[in-house]
Amino acid sequence: MNTRLIILMLCICTLVYLLGMQIDLMDVDAAQYASISREMLANKSFLQVYDLGRDYLDKPPMLFWLSALSMKIFGINHFAYRLPSFIFALLAIYSTYRLALLYYKKEVALLAALILASCQAMFLILHDVRTDTMLMGWVICSIWQLAEWKQNKKFISFTLGCIAIAGGMMTKGPLALIVPVFALGSDWILKRDWKAFVRWEYILGIIIIAILLLPMSYGLYQQFDMHPEKVLYNQNNVSGLRFFYWTQSFGRITGESTWKEYGSFSFLLQNMLWSFLPWIIFFLTAILLEGYQLIKQRFNIQDNQEWISTGGFIITYCALGSSQAQLPHYIFIAFPFAAIITAKFLYTLLFENSYPKLQNILSIIHKILFGLLWIALIVLLWWPFVQLTKTAALISLLFFAAFIVMLFAKKLPLPRILLLGAFTIMGINLFLNTAFYPALLQYQAGSVAGRFITKNHLPTSKVFIYDFPEGRSFHFYGQSVFAHLDSLQQMKKGDIILTDRNNLTAIDSAGFKVTVLQQGGDYHISMLSLRFLNPKKREGQLQKYVLAKLD
């Protein structure tokens, strides 16, 4: 196997990530978390979290802490917000490599790193940054370190594993503790290694984790438990400690949580069909073979085998799939496991030629699939946005031509289907990050109007929102928390108003002279439709907005 080429492709993936980190943040979640991080830095309120001045009780503070620190160093911008998550993505890839290296040859470990780095989810969560990027890094790092400790008896590895668990819990709650238990526990059970469940070090580990959780716990107690009069989720007497350590995670299964969305057990698997591209079919085949092999071995594996990856994925999926509230990115925490499972199978399939007939079938399927993805990309670049001036589409045609050359070349440095898969997903995301998304985000009013305010040094104390769903991106890019006005009577001369263009007549009738500073069309871009993508029908899908000064 050409390991240098694998490393080169990992570097190219990193470059594509960095290009994606230059585009504007999307509403809702990424822009909201960036706005919270900016607000935390501005208010220097690091133990108590606020969202536009209101108490925030949804996600633990780790993402906000690190993003606020990054903004302190690099300024208030989307790159600074994304930088900590980018570092944790690299940690996730490296930890996946090191975990695989404990049990398999270097080539398999490198394949696992490449598969994780080049799955569609990784490109997505490095520009649409939420807590899951950071959580993935903490969790797979903790599992690698604890597996290293179990194998090599290095106490420093045990300590680092506990620190990573605590970091993950401060990122997204108890899931960061439960997933390592699922992964390592399933391995120990199948090896009949009962002694691994009873070790004196676990008491010390609990103490380390508890100590590291103290700042977050104290902040939650101060902000919520000491104030039972506060109303959150239409309830008073809400305990912040109970919410983070129980309700937010386990409450979704028991029914205590108020969140109820996408509760189907197959929902996460359906979303993996796109989020684990281009490796999803290989993964599904691999996990079926893993199950078949376990049955053949009568649910008893040898010491030189591992079930951390397969057990970790299956049990984590079942736990998340049982939740009454699911979103597509929830399963991303298990993608390092999926990468290792897939890498084992791909190495056997492509480098050891263990399944020649299956290899031929999968090769035909993927050549068709990758070709269709390139065609879809060219259509996306050519059709929806005139401002791309067809240049990006023409360049993508050259990349498609390179794909065709690789498709029929007699000799390649790596197995054809592996090279085609990596080239396709990296090429597609290169064009999405540099052409499609920037054009799309011109229709996100919050970031466009907010950036206009900052660029033109408009007085933020005079900026208000009236009858317009501005999104958190407006507050982040405007670098302030802007108040809403409920009526025309609240407006004053000198105010700058973000509003629907249809309201201008009423504002003018109220006695104001209106000067339009900036205007455009707004669309909820995370909910794309064919009508919006169609240039001829787009105008009817847009909400027209203005940023206007009143005199």
Domain positions in the chain are 24-255+263-351, 356-442, 444-550
* Residue 284 exposed, middle or buried by CB count within 10 Å (0-12, 13-18, 19+): middle
Q: What is the DSSP letter of 384?
A: S
> Which residue, chain included where needed, has tokens 């969790």?
139
Beta bridge partner(s), residue 523:
none
Q: What is the DSSP letter of 443?
A: G
Taking alpha carbons only, the member of 548, 359, 525 closest to residue 439 is 525
Residue 75 backbone dihedrals phi, psi, to 5 degrees:
95, 170
Q: How far is CA 216 from CA 63, 132, 134, 159, 221, in A?
A: 12, 18, 17, 20, 9
Written as six digits, the tokens of 106 are 């270097």
Q: Measure CA 549 to chain center.
A: 38
Q: Measure CA 336 to chain center.
A: 14
Query: Whole-angstrom Cα distance, residue 34 to residue 121?
Result: 20
Measured distance between the N- and C-terminal CA atoms of the chain, rounded to whole angstroms:
70
Taking alpha carbons only, the member of 221, 169, 174 closest to residue 61 is 169
Burial 391-414 (b: 16+ CB within 10 A, else e): ebbeebbebbeebeebeeeeeeeb
Peptide bond into 278 cis (omega under 30): yes
Q: What is the DSSP letter of 325?
A: B
> Which residue, chain included where needed, has tokens 């108490």?
55
Beta bridge partner(s), residue 543:
522
Query: Whole-angstrom Cα distance, residue 425 to residue 277?
Result: 8
Query: Whole-angstrom Cα distance, residue 218 to residue 47?
Result: 8
Q: Residue 224 in contact with residue 236, Cβ under 8 Å? A: no
Q: Residue 245 in contact with residue 174, Cβ under 8 Å? A: yes
Helices (H) and strands (E) in the chain, counts: 24, 7
SS3 labels along 46-96 = CCCCEECCEECCCCCCHHHHHHHHHHHHHCCCHHHHHHHHHHHHHHHHHHH
Chunked in runs of 10, what are the mean pLDDT values of the chain (551 residues)? 92 95 92 96 93 91 96 96 97 98 96 97 94 96 97 94 96 94 95 92 96 95 86 80 81 59 81 95 96 89 88 94 82 96 96 91 94 92 79 86 92 93 95 92 94 95 93 94 93 93 90 91 90 92 94 88
Tell whether pTM > 0.75.
Answer: yes
Q: Residue 337 in contact with residue 119, Cβ under 8 Å? A: no
Fold observed for domain 444-550: D-Maltodextrin-Binding Protein; domain 2 (3.40.190)
3-state class of 430 per DSSP? helix
3-state class of 544 per DSSP? strand
